[in-house]
Amino acid sequence: MTTTPKTPAEEIAECRTEIVAKIAAFRAAHAGRILDVTTETRSVWLDGGEYYDVLSADVWTGSAIEHVTVCTDGAARWHGAGGYDLFRPLVADATPAVIAAAQAWTDAEEAYAARCKQGHAVLGGGDVASGALVIVTRGTKVPQGTVAVVTWCGTSAYGGRARLSPIDEHCVAVVRGREGGGDTYTAVANVTVLMTPDEARPDWRAPVTDLCARRYPVAALAWTWASRDAAHSTLAELGARHDSDAEPLRALDARARWAVYADRLAADPLAAEVAALFAECPPVVTGTTTPRTLAAVLDDLDADRPTVENALTYAEGDRATYLRVALGAVGLAAPVAAPVKTRAKRARKAATAA
Q: Do 131 and 172 belong together in one domain?
A: yes
Whether 2 maps to a domain, the answer reads no
What is the model's pLDDT at position 112?
A: 93
Q: Does some domain include residue 182?
A: yes
Q: Count structural domains, the chain.
A: 3
82 and 153 share a domain? Answer: no
Whole-prediction pTM value? 0.76
Within this chain, do residues 307 and 232 fall inside the same structural domain, yes or no?
no
pLDDT of amino acid 81: 55
> First CA to last CA across the chain, in angstroms?
83
Residue 137 and residue 238 in one domain: yes
pLDDT at 338: 46
Would you give per-residue pLDDT tens digits along the chain (354 residues)? 567 777 767 777 777 888 888 889 999 999 999 999 988 877 766 555 567 788 899 999 999 999 999 888 766 655 555 555 667 788 899 999 999 999 999 999 999 999 999 898 888 777 889 999 999 998 888 889 999 999 888 888 878 899 998 888 777 877 655 554 567 888 898 999 999 999 999 887 788 999 999 999 999 999 999 999 999 999 999 999 989 999 999 999 999 999 999 999 999 999 999 999 888 888 887 777 888 899 998 998 888 888 888 877 776 767 777 787 788 777 777 655 444 455 555 666 666 665
Kindly state whether residues 78 and 160 are assigned to the same domain.
no
Decide if 111 is inside a domain. Answer: no
Residues 144 and 258 in one domain: yes
| Structural domain containing residue 277 | 268-354
The DSSP code sequence of 268-309 is -HHHHHHHHHTSSS--B-TTSSPBPPHHHHHHHHHHTHHHHH
Does 114 reside within a domain? no
Q: What was the pLDDT predicted at 61?
A: 93
List alpha helices for the chain, DSSP H: 8-29, 74-78, 96-123, 197-200, 210-215, 219-231, 235-238, 246-267, 269-277, 294-303, 305-312, 319-329, 340-353
Same domain, 296 and 322: yes
pLDDT of residue 286: 75
For residues 138 and 241, state if they share a domain.
yes
Whether residues 299 and 247 fall in one domain: no
Shared domain for 141 and 257, answered yes or no, is yes
